[in-house]
Amino acid sequence: MRATQRRPLRLPAGVTLEENCFDRGWPGTGEFPLIEIVRTLASMDALRQVGPEVFSPHNAARSAAEIAAVSSESLCALLDAANVTY
């Protein structure tokens, strides 16, 4: 049995929650291998609900319609690249 860690985890040097967790890009624009992940989940029939979750201060000035359009375009591009029917 593994011991439960009872202290806060420390972020690596140069990593902040604000810049590395809340300032996200649209699907397919970063380094995370989303195409491979989506393909794997689809092959396992485990891809039931998909949607981008983009927390970014860059979106604060955008309208809801603009965010929806960019969100839809990026998600469709990702699913197309992964050859997933939607």
| pLDDT tens digits, 44-63 | 999 888 887 777 888 889 99
Domain of 75, in residue numbers: 17-47+59-81
pLDDT tens for residues 18-34? 777 777 788 888 888 99
Q: How far is CA 77 from CA 1, 15, 16, 22, 60, in A?
A: 43, 29, 29, 22, 23
Q: Residue 86 falls within a domain, yes or no?
A: no
What residue type is assigned to position 35 of the chain?
Answer: I
Q: Residue 52 falls within a domain, yes or no?
A: no
Query: What's this model's pTM, rounded to 2 decimal places?
Result: 0.71
CB 82 within 8 Å of CB 38: yes
How many structural domains is the chain composed of? 1
